[in-house]
Structure 1
């Protein structure tokens, strides 16, 4: 940068965190590597901490096998000649980031729960604890989605505008919701939940089918739209 008030920096060699466990590498082919996580071992991270004044922390994953490897860099003055220059445009602001996370679909829940209890705990810790990447947002499908083994909604009784037969299903009660509670129990930070439907019940759709081109019947303010809104509330 040509601006003397903007910091430059250089990267220091990686350092090994005291409590973290490195990735146990497994190559599926020469260009594809994963970290093994089983009942006996799973890679972990130290809790994220602020670097020393004048320094920054960098986490790097790479094709060569690094997995969230932490290193520190030191901000330099203008007299130095760094290999990389970071320009901080402090006046330029963009949207706020709520967080990062994933979806608890039927398929995800079925695969997680097919593991042994020890492996389940290691896997969930790697996503939600401060030894892992600390996901803080979870998307929950409202009823079935394209990662379900069967199509279903919470109100499959035709023309039940009062939603008298509205109900959760086994996939929610026995799989998805328990996993959300386990994730929240492992996290030291609040986890936000985002509910999102894949489709309305078929009797509310113009084609009255689970698949294919269809939209919500009627128009804004009518009984179909009011029922669909109440479906969200329920």
Structure 2
């Protein structure tokens, strides 16, 4: 049984404490319930409990008529790569501006699985995202030069100001963390718009852009940073962001099969190629690329966001091509949101929904913002709330921190999703860790307190969650 909770993980606010109710047999002298060795980490919608290990022991399951979540470790699904966020340029800036000791403490809390919440997967932008102070690529040209076919001006110098130093400090804490790179745009001179905003990749630069990816991966490797995977284009059907680039499915297939894939093969680049990286409502995009055998051979899988469509639509991609992996790579939390609603929605749709629909990871959007929600590019997101807010050395943990902590600390890389029955009032997902532990994440999606049971082949328990509460149960 888990016996302690590092106070650095959870700042508990004043308020009513949620307790787990025992379900006891009726009778004149009820017997004392037998207790289990199951630990419960709890976050409540009123913030009285914030990812706090409950000290009251959970009773073994008793004879009752409450709904039961039946966990079956003999039914297995995908192996997990990890949970985390995007380390944007702005996130790295705020972290790098902290004092060295304060930053070290915060990074340890975020990335150490024993002493903190154990984030295990990061996404970074290839060049700028809209949460950098200004748009840039790794091959921006001096005035008067119109192309750079040999990429002689290629440089990751802007990343070396904040991003790569922070990544190195993270890797010192967790050398096995996986890093995914995603471009918001190719260099402007390669695009039909000649701008950081919109436009498509000119076909005459397909091979040059493939080499651009290789140079990026090699430049990061020279810094001691391995890029595990890349997506070909962030949100390829959204060309209004700054930066952004438009890319139809047939163009992405052509780029991958004739240029990026062969270039990776020729250079012996082991970085995975992932397509789509946009919303759940256009599953036809990645499926059409997978249907092209010449492109298919180079592609590991597809990535999704949930700004459109249903999370359950992701299983259509798995069903069409079960040999291809799925990833959930972005979902923002708005600064205008409220804790209870965001806790429930993101836990239900991202932590539970994405993993129940075959995703090997689950990532929220930006890891860090400041209280002014800066920096951002002109036209970039002005309401993107980080998982944590950092102002100087002052750190505030926001709802996105607790959403991710419920999975990242216990569902370690190599864990396998296992069978569990779903209920609209008690959405849940179950995993078996590499050490053989069972982890079950449950949301009370109703407006009332919900007693229920969790049945496993080991210890079964009776428990309850307050309305809107999230519990991670660890065997």
Normalised TM-score (structure 1)? 0.69
Q: Could you list the runs of 4 or more consecutive aligned residues of structure 1 that deviate by over 6 angstroms after TM superposition?
A: none
Say whether the 8 Å CA contact 2:13–2:49 is kept in structure 1.
no
* Cα shift readout 1:20-79 (whole Å, capped 9, x = no counterpart): 22634468xx9xxxxxxxxxxxxxxxxxxxxxxx74333222233322222464553xx6
Which residues of 2 match residues 1-234 of structure 1 at below 5 A? 17=4, 20-21=6-7, 23-25=10-12, 55-63=37-45, 64-71=47-54, 73=58, 76=61, 80-81=63-64, 83=66, 85-90=68-73, 92-129=75-112, 130-157=114-141, 158-170=146-158, 172-187=159-174, 190-211=176-197, 213-218=198-203, 223-234=204-215
CA distance in 2, matches of 1:55, 1:196: 42
Q: Which has the higher contact order (CA 8 A, sep 6+)?
A: 2
CA displacement at 1:135 relative to structure 2: 0.7
Question: What SS is found at the alignment partner of 1:88?
Answer: strand
What RMSD, in angstroms, separates the aligned Cα atoms of the two structures? 2.7
Aligned 8 A contact 2:138 2:156 in 1? yes
**Gaps (5+ residues) in structure 2?**
16-35, 216-475
* Counterpart Cα distance in 2 of 1:83 and 1:70: 24
Distance 1:83 1:115, change over 3 A: farther
User: How far does residue 180 in structure 1 lie from its aligned partner after superposition?
Assistant: 0.8
Structure 1: give runs of 5+ residues left out of the alignment: 1-13, 31-53
SS in 1 for 2:38: strand
- How big is the shift at 1:87? 1.4
| Counterpart Cα distance in 1 of 2:116 and 2:190 | 42
| Structure 2 contact 185–196 (Cα < 8 Å) conserved | yes
Cα pair 1:143 1:153 within 8 Å, conserved = yes
CA contact (8 A) 2:11 2:50 kept: no
- Mapped to 2, the partners of 1:119 and 1:105 lie a distance apart of 20
Q: Which has the higher helix share?
A: 2
- Aligned equivalents of 1:74 and 1:217: distance in 2? 64
1:203: Cα distance to partner?
0.8
1:183-212 CA-to-partner distances (Å, cap 9, x unmatched) read: 11122x61011111110000111111111x
State TM-score, norm by structure 2. Answer: 0.36
For the residues of structure 2 that align with 1:226 and 1:15, how far apart are their CA atoms? Answer: 53
Change (3 A) 1:178 1:97: same
**SS of alignment partner, residue 82 of structure 2:** coil
Whether contact under 8 Å (1:145, 1:198) holds in the other structure is: yes
Q: Distance in 2 between matches of 1:147 and 1:84?
A: 44
Q: Distance in 1 between matches of 2:60 and 2:126?
A: 47
Count of aligned residue pairs for this structure pair: 186
CA distance in 2, matches of 1:57, 1:25: 18
Query: What displacement does 1:159 show?
Result: 1.5
Contact 1:145 1:151 in 2 (8 A): yes
1:215: Cα distance to partner?
Answer: 1.4
> How far apart, in 2, do the equivalents of 1:199 and 1:91 lie?
44
**Aligned-residue offset at 1:88:** 2.3
Cα distance between partner residues in 2 of 1:15 and 1:135: 19
Equivalent residues of 1:56, 1:75 under 8 A apart = no
Q: Which protein is bigger by CA-based radius of gyration?
A: 1
Q: Give deviations 1:135-154, integer Å, cap 9, x for gaps.
A: 11111211111011111111
Alpha-carbon distance in structure 1 between the residues aligned to 2:85 and 2:116: 14
- Distance in 2 between residues matched to 1:87 and 1:224, nearest whole Å: 54
- Asked if the contact 2:124–2:182 (Cα under 8 Å) also holds between the matched residues in 1, the reply is yes
